[in-house]
Structure 1
Amino acid sequence: MAEKYQSREERRKQLNSKQKGKGRKKAKISVKRIFLFLVALGIVGLLIGAGTFAYMVKDTPKLDEKLLKDPISSELYDINGNFFAEIGSEKRDYVDYEDIPKQVEEAILATEDTRFYKHNGVDIIRLGGAVVANLTEGFGAEGASTITQQVVKNSFLTPEKTLSRKAQEAWLSIQLERKYTKQQIFEMYVNKIWMDSGGHGIATAAKVYFGKELDELTLAETALLAGMPQSPANYNPFKHPERAEKRRNIVLTLMHKHGFITQEEMEEAKSVDVTSTLVPEDKRSTGDIPYDAFVGHVVKEIKAKYPDIDPFSDGLKIYTTLEPDAQKYVEDILDGDEIEYPDEKFQAGITLLDTATGQIRALGGGRNQTVDFGFNYATDAKRQPGSTIKPIIDYGPAIEFLKWGTYYALDDKPYTYSTGDKISNWDNKHMGVMSMRTALALSRNIPALQAFQAVGAEKAKQFAIDLGIPLKEIHESYSIGGFGGEDKGVSSLEMAGAYSAFGNNGFYTEPYSVVEIELRDGTKLKMKPDSKVVMQDYTAFMITDMLKDVVQSGTGTRANISGLPLAGKTGTTNYPDADKKAYNIPNGAVPDAWFVGYTTNYTAAVWTGYDNKNENYLVGDDQKIGQRLFKNIMEHVHNGKETADFKVPNTVEVVEIEKGTIPAKKASKYTPKNMIITEYAVKGHAPKEVSDKYDRLEAPVDLTADYDTDSNEIVLNWNYVAENENGVQFEIYVKKDDGAEELLTAQSEKTLRMKADYGGYYTFKVIAVRDQQKSDPATAAIQIPDPLIFDGDDENDDNGGPPWGRNEEDEETDEPDNENPGNDEQNDNNNGQPQQGNNRGQGQGQGQGNQNGGNQGNQP
């Protein structure tokens, strides 16, 4: 039994041992299968990846040696589709590899591709870091392009960041490395890169920026040029020396990091002031690019929207908004003798827009420009806007948010900011209660601040931002154009864009110069920004209507153009008292003078002033040059064009307001006409209350007109019955025969005598007047008789005067003398002639008057 038991135990152990062995075998088989699956999956992935890569690179262009060495210029077309300029092929000095200084090569390698001589066109190590950045921060967050890839991109491919384009770039880079040596590829790179004002290639840039050959450059100058290709426009030392210096210092740090220069060399180069190394402004070369102020902005606009597109080397077709005739005129008037400028340093920036579309028609980048794509005073200069900001920050928001009408009453009185600081008008005077229209037309500061305070700072700020004025903060001083803090000022381009919205029924379109770009492969990129409603049409119209008064009777009359429906606003800025004292600036001098205005066709913004406002300033008529520039330009561009007036929207109603009422009240039926102003209100928000300042003024009564034969005078008498006669005067008007009515006099007495002409027929009108209020008239008329025959016999003259209408035959009979109808009483009455004797010529109008003897007849 024991053996049998042991035998059973042994069999159990043996069975367990076999089962464990089978489990290990199965486990080994399972791992192997997984490994094989992963291998197969990897192969499939590689095949799919290879297939995908092959698909993406199937349309890759072929290597073209000419394209590798020469940048492709871009063509520009005006608003009518006509070619007017080519950019990108004007300036380029080619340098061979053996002539590239070692220092220049090291600076470029340290900045762009330190492993250039170690990879085969695509740097896997660098690519890994970029992939991580793109996965964590989004595609396009970091580039991994080698110098080889940059040559390929700039020569053959479009600039968009897509997987397909990157695949083509990698494929062509590998081919390029197989066909050309590293030295040849590096030579292509240094001659192809765009250097903004420095043209194409680093050799050209050395001459333009420093006036030197490549082998003459200092370390600091070399580092500056090596840092520019990443963003040529932003690191242009002529335009942005501070940015260029920061970028240069980054390059020097990289050169030290990679062992190309010592710590001492780096520190010494960093201490060099960039501006001290540049070619002096008066010796900088100019090119022959037409309309360079406009073209420069075109390039800037493209780079802002599509940073990877290079208009100077990508072979684009650029369709712009340029109106060549307008652009040429703007340039001619800035540099010609049509306007008398005070000196050569006087500057101006001009923007001309299409009011309805926001398209830039012309840019005046400044006077006496010496370099292509230099500082643009229309787009780059940020200056204080002065009173041109009032429609944007004060009155526009007041209409938009508070529904103020153009009549809204404001009080131009001694006033302070909320801080308690005093605010003054430009003339240091106060004009009392006035309408918003008058306050804007006369550019009063105190009413403008009152409007700003009523609206509130935040609403005013947002209104301005919506109009393209990029405010970062806002204070009460902004209400009169006194910007500060982070807001250094505004450009002519920004002001033109804002004002165009007022002329376009409240629609704002950011000003733009490029309609469309066509890439080399035929792809078309739209550049037109979207229009947006930024205010109600009643706001736009009422601001426009008030700005018409500025040019017709306000501060901007020198900009007015007869027969052209035009709205606009002047603006000047002031010097702080401390600056006036420190720089000995005279009273009345200003640093900036503006005029911004528009029609339904065009909007123009003109800034004038000096670069250094503490050394030069505007005095006297120099402050009006902006208005003259505006007028001449607008006259030119409107010549031969129909210009519609601004239409009154159905959201606006006309209202008659009594002058001087605060708050504004409607005129009553007794309000004198000269005390009534016709204004506009937002429909449904016109004043409801009617003024009761003026009651009906009683008219004179019992007006008579008598003829005094002794003195040959007409005697007027009248009465005046009223509860309050204080302050009443009487205006007496006369009309003789069919002549014009004339004012004889104004007096407080109720009688008047005047000499008469024989045979004249006189009509009189007497009106009561008080405080510019006038009554209805009282009227009277009188016919003065003609003497017929005077026989020299005083006895025949009953009253000692001439024998009116009589002769001897008349005295012998009482029978009517048909040959002398003047003696016939019936004819006398019918013909309106007075009878003879004591019945002397005498009459009255409206059956009024005294019985002073004689027959009273109804005179015609």
Structure 2
Amino acid sequence: MADKSQTRTARRKQKKTKKKPIWKKILVASLIFVLVIGLGVAAVGTYWIVTAPDIEASKLSDPLASQVLDKDGDVFATPGDQKRTKIEYDDLPQILVDAVTATEDARFFEHSGIDLRRIGGAVIANFTNGFGSEGASTITQQVVEKSFLSPEKKISLKVQEQWLALKLERKYSKEEILEMYLNKIFYGSNAYGVARAADVYFGKKELSELTLPEAAILAGLPQRPTAYNPFKNPELTKKRMNTVLTLMVRHNKITQEEADEARKVDIPSLLNESKPDSIKYDAFLDQVRKEVSEKLDGADIDTDGLKIHTTLDKNIQEHVEFLLKDKENSPISYPDEEMQAGMVVLDTKNGAIRSIGGNRSEKAGGLNYAIDLNRQPGSTAKPILSYGPAIEYDKISTYHQINDDKPYDEGVETPIRNWNRQYGGWMSARYALAQSLNVPAVKLAKETGLDNAQEFGEGLGYKFDNDQIDIRDVIGGTGTGVSPLQLAGAYRAFGNEGIYNEPYAVTKVEFPDGKVVELQPKPEAAMSDYTAYMVTDMLKSVMTEGTGKEANIPGLHVAGKTGTTNHTELEGSPDSWFSGYTTNYTISIWTGYNDYNKTLPNTKIPHALFKNTMTEISKDKETADFEKPNSVVEVAVEKGSQPARLPSDFTPSSQIVKELFVKGTEPKKTSEKYDELDPVSDLKASYDKESNTIDVKWKYDADEKVNFEVSTSVDGGEMQSLSSTEDKTIQISEVEKGAEYTIQVVAVSSESSSMKSEPVTTSVNITDEEEEEEDTEEENEEEDSAENIPAVSGLSAKYNEENSIIDVSWNYNGPPASFEVSVNGQTQSVQSNGIEISGASPGQSYTIQVTPIGQEGANKDAKGEPQSTQITVPESQNEETNGNEDSQEDQSNEDNQEESGEEGQNEG
């Protein structure tokens, strides 16, 4: 019985357990989880609050000065250590207070240091777009952050910021906190605090004199003081001012009518005529400020007390700044004061920025053309978007043949033309790039694929105006713009075996609390080493044989590329570029005007700036040549062969060129163009006493189309060219009795005069007999019979420059006859109505006389009246043909004729 009772009890317990609802278990587990999380959050939050720094009154008044160090560790700038004009709350006009609070913290006078409504909106935005996408900092929190905390976007710092804001509000009044804020904020142009900013920008010592537009400008500046600087970017300043005015209307600080009236103002008319003096190396500091702000979540070099290690080379920086100013001893002659320039010097090995020349202005506030410019690059784009991708993806050689036959019109509204409006036919990639021809560049990019060109360019930091590359991007002629810094970064990769990293000015930053952050970017392979080397080798040809000759530096291994743009409506170029490099340094330069509608009177200044700077900074420094990688082979190629062929043993040295190939793609077959022809056979010569002539004949069994050059030598004298004929016989008339004649015959290709056979010779002695008595009767008979042989007609001689041959022809209408042809006293007999005279010498005059001689019956040996003509072979001249790789084009006006712009006709 006991066992049965125990069993029933166990069953009842088991039954009750099964019936317990599952939701109760979930609820209990959830409550426990929330409690644990809550306790954890509370513990962590408590730790963050406990470890928050103390509020020190000394840090609330002035920002901490930063130190900026050059590459050698020496301090060259201390942002934040500048003079400032302090103000008290009573000095602030209400219009400025309203503008600042409406923009930065509309409920500043209502909250207790943190704004819960703003926090709610920011939380939603951060969940949607990621932490840090939107802040909720009040003016009080901004004062706390800039005084005591790091600008990094971390939850721990945000908790500490809010805790300290609450503490600050309990210790100080709203008026005192706003006073701290306006004395601490950086406004750009080396202005710290609102009073100093009002003086710098508007020349107003008293804040009470500020107008509504001026107050709105000052309220908007702290968000982006460099970008919204009214001296530099008045258009951006006005957009920011309009935003502030809109916020003031929304928060009932001003009326809509007042805002509309304020918007009518012209920003430049408000500004102080005397801009602040420039600070030392300010163009380089612009880049430092930008990198620190972008890479350290908004850190401010002007207020955060940082120690910033940079890549600056002060010697190079000072030389660049010297060249950009109008100095009496400057080697650069600028056309006027308005022409601007931007210039960057990088270390080729690692991408470190050694120098930045921002503009030519003596005063600060001008645009930094080295880093902020966005202009069409002209033909400096060609190595990046045409030749580089073609080598990388298609493994073309530097010999690769491209047909530059006519303007490119495939899929474009306006045909793309070469800068010189000339087209040279088939040419090598090396020659086309050296001469900066547009048509070969776009054809090559089309063959490789524009998608590949875009991928290659983006790997070098290239940012396209549209998502999809345009064919005119290849020649730098669309809306896609670059800066000298961006272009230098791309070219540097070609000089650094294809390794790219974004150019950088800051290596590391030390915070006041001892924390160190490394900022040097990681290098990546942007292309194969064969691409980098082969592009570099072609760009060396640009310097020695092409458009960059004026920038070349004898004795220095240097590669480079020119670039100019054109204007759609004006003559001339609004932009001129040069980008070049050695194994040590890379330099990119732009010159132009701030007004795009003004063109340059001289496009060669970038060449001079490059040459002078590279020469100076390379002094007393070993500059190695670019090292050819194992993936590249140099091969001798026969010019004109297509595809590339190895030269034969008979290829003339003038027709051999050395070019680069990706290993494994080099030519294996040998050209047959200059193979030696088979010689003639069975050459025989016999003397005919009766006619006093030598009859010569030979055989030729080969299939090639040939002519035969016949030459003679008398008594061992110099061999003289006699005739060129398609026949296999020739008669030499009026020979000298008692002499020994040596006759030579050479077969010559009809397609190429340089392709010949070995000469074959034979000799014949002329019998010396007593002078025959003159038979007057016979002479009379000859004269009588000669009347039946008419003279030739239409005798003409034309010079064929291609084969160096004089082509002589005539007409004859009479009894059967042969023709005695005398060329400057040398005679021969032919059967045809024409003859070719080979070996014509430039500048030589030739007198050609043709006499018909009867061959049959009573007319046999009877002569007709001689007819003669004269021709002078023109002097040889150096050809200036486009596309001939042996020619030397005149580049003196090249850059001024180059084109790009929106029509896409650029140079080099």
Q: What range is the shorter-chain TM-score in?
A: 0.7 to 0.9
Does 1:103 pair with 2:84?
no
Does 1:380 pair with 2:372?
yes
Q: 1:650-729 maps to which residues of 2 (within 5 A)?
A: 650-696=630-676, 726=707
Partner of 1:553 in structure 2? 545
Which amino acid letter does the alignment assign opposite residue 370 of structure 1? K
Partner of 1:252 in structure 2? 245
Q: 1:84-163 maps to which residues of 2 (within 5 A)?
A: 84-163=76-155
Partner of 1:362 in structure 2? 355
Does 1:331 pair with 2:312?
no
Report the Cα distance in structure 2 between the residues aligned to 1:727 and 1:418, rounded to whole angstroms.
47
Greater Cα offset, 269-278 or 519-528: 269-278
Which amino acid letter does the alignment assign opposite residue 316 of structure 1? L
Partner of 1:850 in structure 2? none
Report the Cα distance in structure 2 between the residues aligned to 1:623 and 1:236, rounded to whole angstroms.
30
1:101 is displaced (CA, Å) by: 0.6
1:139 is displaced (CA, Å) by: 2.5
Partner of 2:180 in structure 1? 188
Which secondary structure does the structure 2 equivalent of 1:643 belong to? coil
Which secondary structure does the structure 2 equivalent of 1:415 belong to? coil
Contact 1:499/1:596 (CA < 8 Å) preserved in 2? yes
Q: Deviations over 1:333-354 (max 9, x none)?
A: 1113211111111221111111
Does 1:241 pair with 2:231?
no
Partner of 2:420 in structure 1? 427
Which amino acid letter does the alignment assign opposite residue 468 of structure 1? G
1:274 is displaced (CA, Å) by: 3.0
Contact 1:729/1:768 (CA < 8 Å) preserved in 2? no
Q: Structure 1 residue aligned with 2:194, among 202, 205, 209?
A: 202
Q: Deviations over 1:538-593 (max 9, x none)?
A: 111111111111111111111111111111111122222xx12xxxx4xxx22222
Contact 2:708/2:746 (CA < 8 Å) preserved in 1? no
Which amino acid letter does the alignment assign opposite residue 455 of structure 2? Q
Change (3 A) 1:612 1:144: closer
Partner of 1:607 in structure 2? 590
Partner of 2:391 in structure 1? 399
Partner of 2:478 in structure 1? 483
Report the Cα distance in structure 1 between the residues aligned to 2:484 and 2:284, rounded to whole angstroms.
13
Q: Deviations over 1:618-642 (max 9, x none)?
A: 23xx221111110111011111111
Contact 1:731/1:769 (CA < 8 Å) preserved in 2? no
Partner of 1:52 in structure 2? 44
Report the Cα distance in structure 2 between the residues aligned to 1:779 and 1:225, rounded to whole angstroms.
97
Which secondary structure does the structure 2 equivalent of 1:196 belong to? coil
TM normalised by structure 2 equals 0.71
1:774 is displaced (CA, Å) by: 7.5
Q: 1:21-60 maps to which residues of 2 (within 5 A)?
A: 51-60=43-52
Contact 1:698/1:721 (CA < 8 Å) preserved in 2? no
Q: Structure 2 residue aligned with 1:229, among 199, 202, 222?
A: 222
Contact 2:580/2:588 (CA < 8 Å) preserved in 1? yes
Q: Structure 1 residue aligned with 2:563, among 558, 563, 571?
A: 571
Change (3 A) 1:439 1:59: same
Q: Structure 2 residue aligned with 1:299, among 289, 292, 305?
A: 289
Partner of 2:600 in structure 1? 618
1:730 is displaced (CA, Å) by: 9.4
Change (3 A) 1:492 1:136: closer
Does 1:269 pair with 2:262?
yes
Which amino acid letter does the alignment assign opposite residue 496 of structure 1? A
Contact 1:195/1:205 (CA < 8 Å) preserved in 2? yes
Does 1:286 pair with 2:286?
no
Partner of 1:627 in structure 2? 607
Report the Cα distance in structure 1 between the residues aligned to 2:312 and 2:712, rounded to whole angstroms.
62
Q: Deviations over 1:590-612 (max 9, x none)?
A: 22221111111111111112222
List gaps (5 residues or longer) in structure 1: 1-30, 703-717, 733-743, 751-765, 781-860
Q: Deviations over 1:725-780 (max 9, x none)?
A: 73869999xxxxxxxxxxx9996689xxxxxxxxxxxxxxx999985747799999
Partner of 1:389 in structure 2? 381
Contact 1:572/1:590 (CA < 8 Å) preserved in 2? yes
Report the count of equivalent residues.
688
Change (3 A) 1:455 1:91: farther
Higher RCO (C-alpha 8 Å, min separation 6): 2
Q: Deviations over 1:307-357 (max 9, x none)?
A: 421110000011111111111100011113211111111221111111121
Partner of 1:342 in structure 2? 335
Partner of 1:311 in structure 2? 301
Which secondary structure does the structure 2 equivalent of 1:593 belong to? strand
Which secondary structure does the structure 2 equivalent of 1:549 belong to? helix
Report the Cα distance in structure 2 between the residues aligned to 1:43 and 1:148, rounded to whole angstroms.
33
1:416 is displaced (CA, Å) by: 2.4
Q: Deviations over 1:476-511 (max 9, x none)?
A: 222222123xx2x21111111111111111111111
Pick the structure with more helix per residue: 1
Change (3 A) 1:49 1:492: closer
Change (3 A) 1:458 1:115: same
Which amino acid letter does the alignment assign opposite residue 633 of structure 1? T
1:449 is displaced (CA, Å) by: 1.8
Does 1:63 pair with 2:63?
no
Change (3 A) 1:105 1:366: same
Percent identity, please: 47
Greater Cα offset, 58-67 or 105-114: 58-67
Partner of 1:754 in structure 2? none
Contact 1:365/1:379 (CA < 8 Å) preserved in 2? yes
List gaps (5 residues or longer) in structure 2: 1-23, 683-695, 725-744, 762-908
Which secondary structure does the structure 2 equivalent of 1:350 belong to? strand
Q: Structure 1 residue aligned with 2:575, among 589, 592, 598?
A: 592
Q: Structure 2 residue aligned with 1:538, among 530, 544, 549?
A: 530
Contact 2:234/2:267 (CA < 8 Å) preserved in 1? yes
Contact 1:196/1:232 (CA < 8 Å) preserved in 2? yes
Which amino acid letter does the alignment assign opposite residue 286 of structure 2? G
Q: Deviations over 1:144-192 (max 9, x none)?
A: 2221111111011111122221222223222222322221111100110
Report the Cα distance in structure 2 between the residues aligned to 1:444 and 1:728, rounded to whole angstroms.
41
Report the Cα distance in structure 2 between the residues aligned to 1:745 and 1:725, rounded to whole angstroms.
21
Report the Cα distance in structure 2 between the residues aligned to 1:369 and 1:720, rounded to whole angstroms.
86
Report the Cα distance in structure 2 between the residues aligned to 1:267 and 1:74, rounded to whole angstroms.
41
Which amino acid letter does the alignment assign opposite residue 562 of structure 2? T
Change (3 A) 1:729 1:673: farther
1:83 is displaced (CA, Å) by: 1.4
Contact 1:120/1:174 (CA < 8 Å) preserved in 2? yes
1:63 is displaced (CA, Å) by: 2.1
Contact 2:708/2:747 (CA < 8 Å) preserved in 1? no
Partner of 1:474 in structure 2? 469
1:438 is displaced (CA, Å) by: 0.8
Report the Cα distance in structure 1 between the residues aligned to 2:719 and 2:449, rounded to whole angstroms.
53
Change (3 A) 1:692 1:198: same
Which amino acid letter does the alignment assign opposite residue 408 of structure 1? H
Which amino acid letter does the alignment assign opposite residue 685 of structure 1? T
